[in-house]
Every structure is written in structure tokens, then in C-alpha cells.
Structure 1
Amino acid sequence: MRPSRPRNASQIADVANSLIDPILARRAGISTALLSAWEEIAGEAYAEFSRPEKITWPQRASESEDGGFRPGCLTVACEGARVLFLTHAQGELIHRVNGFFGFSAIDRIKVVQKPVQPPGGRRRRPPELSPAEEKDLEARLQGIESEKLKAAIMRLGAGVMSEKRRKERTRDRGRA
């Protein structure tokens, strides 16, 4: 038999979010709901390499000007070369973020290039290569003397090769 939970008990996540949300709203203009929904909002192509950082709201207009609501600017951190792709997808991303909020909360996105740590603080593990791919990559890097440089290029090569495999699988699914 399951132990019953007291009626006034609540989940830790709800308590933590109620404590964190006011601080996030005051400091960054965002909520934990936006952070936790980012994977759905950004989509599979961008979620792993980007993260919302803050929403900057325009200063309030003076009494003489129209004092209505004006949308803000969402700052998104993005890794490496994916900044270019995210920049090109800004229109769609703005539409998705506004759909999440239910109103035109933002009208532009500022993309900043910086390392993005995945949710939960876990580092992504390097992509797996087949033995043939690994052997081919090592053969190409034989002339490099620096072990640090060789390891960095191996990680880069593994990422490029796994990205090619992912795109090929996606393309093959589209044909089927």
C-alpha cells in the first residue's frame, strides 16, 4: 500500500519555482516556465545549443506619450557557429516565444555567442563514432604533434561526422 501524502504537501519543484520566479523576473525578466519550456519553443535544432538569458523591456514612456505596452528584446545565448543559424531563424523563434506567452511579449531577439551548459548542469558527452570513422579521423590527424590540439580536433571531427549522420537520417525519413 502506498503511503498517503498530506493534503497540504506540495512538490519541491513547485516550491522552488515559487521562490525562484520572482527573482528571475526581477533580474532577467523571464520565468522558470520559459526556461523549462525552451526545448519545445526552440525546437530540436536549437534547444541543445541555446538558452534564453533575459528579456529587456523598454523604458516606460513619459506621461505625454502613449503609455501602452511595448514588446521587449529576448537575449539568447548560443554556442559557436550555430549563432548564424539561430539568427536566421529569429522570426520563427519570436513567433514561438510569443505563442508561449500568449501575447506579443517580444519583438526582437539578441543572440550572444557563448558556451551553453545543458539543463541540469550535465555536460554533453562527445558523439560516438563508428570504429571505421574513428580510424579514418585518427589517420587524418597523424601529423599533429600536440595532444591537446589533436584531442580538440577529434572532438570537432566527431561532432561534424555525427551531425552529417543525423542530417542523413532525417533526410532518409523524409523520403520514406
Structure 2
Amino acid sequence: MDNLYVNQLTVEANKDLYSMLQRIGACENEFKNTAHGISYDEFLLWLKEQDDWSRGENLPIGYVKQTILLLYKDKIVIGIGKIRHLLTEESRKQGGNIGYAIDPLYRGNGYATIFLKLIIENADRMGVAEKLLSVEKYNPASKRVIEKAGGKYLYENEERWFFEFK
């Protein structure tokens, strides 16, 4: 497949990343994109905030250390992923500690499955013991991505399927 690789988010300004985050909705398929709809100046502050959170600094109450990974295809950013280093009771109920989104311009090419595998590999290297994901039942495509990436079905409720990665 194409030259795909993952890098951790940095505070360096990146207009391509900003543009991609504007194309991904604020809460698209349950992925929370807090950079959607903000100005470029606000984006620069968002980068600093995310960098702090990746070190466990200046976390809002109830938040845990979080690492953001970016998926690149031939030096073009095409996806964003989040790893929360701990599962809280709230995150267990709300869907887990791993999330990802692919730029709408690049969906349907198998990149989500590859990216999720890379996110899980990175989470393992970071020592993240529990890796829980959920997917809304209206989104069977994401369910297939999780299964193809090696997610093991745990349980479901009325709205979601829950999967773990060991």
C-alpha cells in the first residue's frame, strides 16, 4: 500500500493539519474533534494544549494524559488518532480510550484499519494496559474496521458495540 506512517502531534504550526481537522466534523462517528470550527489562531493554542495533555500537564478535571497520533500518506496528513493512557469509569461508559478519524477525502481506501493497528501498536509501546473502543450501531463500517484490526467483541448495549485490544 501507499507510504503510510504515524507521527505524534507536535506544536509546530501545520496548515495541512488544520485544513484536515476542519473537514472532520466536531463529533463525527463519535470521534470528538475539538479543533473543528476554530480559527487558525485558536488552532495554534489548541496545539499547545494538546502538547501539554500529552505530558499529563494542565489537564482539566477528570481528564487523563492523552497522546494524539497523525497518519501520513506520502507526507500528507490523512488521519488523527487519540490514545488516552488510562480508562476512567466515565470513559468506560462513553466508549473507551482509543479513537480515530480519517480525512473524508481519503475514506474508503482501507486506511482506517491500518491506522487503528498502528494506534494499538503505539499504545502498547506506551504501556497502555487497557485498550477499549466502542462503535455506534448505526456505523457497521467502523465495526468492521475494529474487527479487522484485531478488536475482540466484549459486549453491547442498545446504542454501541464494545471491543478490546489485548
Which structure carries more helix by proportion?
1
TM-score of the aligned structures, taking structure 1 as reference length: 0.29
- Higher relative contact order at CA 8 Å, sep ≥6: structure 1 or structure 2? 2
Which structure carries more strand by proportion?
2
TM-score of the aligned structures, taking structure 2 as reference length: 0.31
